[in-house]
């Protein structure tokens, strides 16, 4: 029993030490203190105020007038080929995407429509609904705006087709 109590106490000390809000670490070998930061070069606990701002060249892409990027893989959700300024945040009862991408409107506008699976409610026995399923309502959970940016970290991703010479 004493052994279990001792092990539990030591484990708790490690957990508490790991959860400290101090963002510095001391290297045991060189005894140097290092500030721990992420890619943003700021405190890891900092808010989103230090995230890079997407700057479009000249005017921002206009919905319906921009060619979308090729998908990286077959099941990847398509990227948003236009600016979403003024369209987010998406809230219950306020989704600007629906005004153009519902099947009827999209067909008339000649733009991609939401696929049928966006109307299947996975939480109610896969019932097909006349409105967008709740799990698909917040578009930017899967779909991100496309932009040509200088990457923070080099991406060497290649599709399977590229690797197989297809």
pLDDT digits (tens, 9 = 90+) for 34-54: 666 666 666 656 665 555 566
CATH topology of domain 54-166: Flavocytochrome C3; Chain A, domain 2 (1.10.1130)
Question: Residue 79: CB partners within 8 Å, gap ≥ 6?
Answer: 68, 69, 143, 144, 145, 146
Annotated binding site for heme c: 82, 97, 100-101, 118, 139, 142-143
Determine if the pTM surpasses 0.75: no
Binding residues, as ranges, are: 82, 97, 100-101, 118, 139, 142-143
Report the pLDDT value the prediction gives residue 137, as an integer from 0 to 100.
92
Asked if 80 and 144 count as a contact pair (C-beta separation under 8 A), the reply is: yes
Q: How many CB atoms neighbour CB 33 within 10 A? A: 9
- Return the SS3 of 16: helix
Average pLDDT in the 8-17 region? Answer: 67
Would you state the structure tokens that stand for residue 119, as one six-digit string? 């109307």
Domain ranges of the chain: 2-50, 54-166
Q: Nearest Cα to 81, choosing from 89, 73, 71, 91?
A: 71
Which is nearest to 119 in space by CA: 141, 101, 146, 107? 101
What pLDDT digit, counting tens, does each position of 80-100 carry?
988 888 888 889 899 999 999
């Amino acid at each position: 029993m004493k052994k279990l109590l001792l092990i539990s106490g030591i484990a708790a000390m490690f957990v508490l030490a790991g959860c400290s809000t101090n963002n510095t670490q001391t290297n045991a070998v060189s005894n140097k203190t290092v500030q721990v930061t992420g890619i943003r070069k700021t405190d890891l606990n900092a808010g989103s105020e230090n995230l890079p701002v997407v700057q479009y060249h000249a005017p921002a892409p206009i919905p319906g007038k921009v060619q979308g990027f090729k998908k990286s893989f077959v099941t990847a959700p398509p990227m948003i080929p236009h600016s979403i300024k003024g369209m987010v945040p998406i809230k219950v009862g306020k989704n600007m995407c629906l005004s153009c991408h519902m099947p009827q409107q999209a067909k008339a506008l000649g733009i991609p429509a939401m696929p049928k699976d966006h109307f299947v409610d996975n939480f109610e026995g896969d019932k097909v609904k006349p409105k967008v399923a709740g799990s698909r309502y917040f578009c930017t959970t899967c779909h991100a705006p496309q932009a040509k940016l200088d990457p923070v970290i080099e991406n060497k991703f290649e599709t399977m087709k590229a690797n197989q010479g297809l």
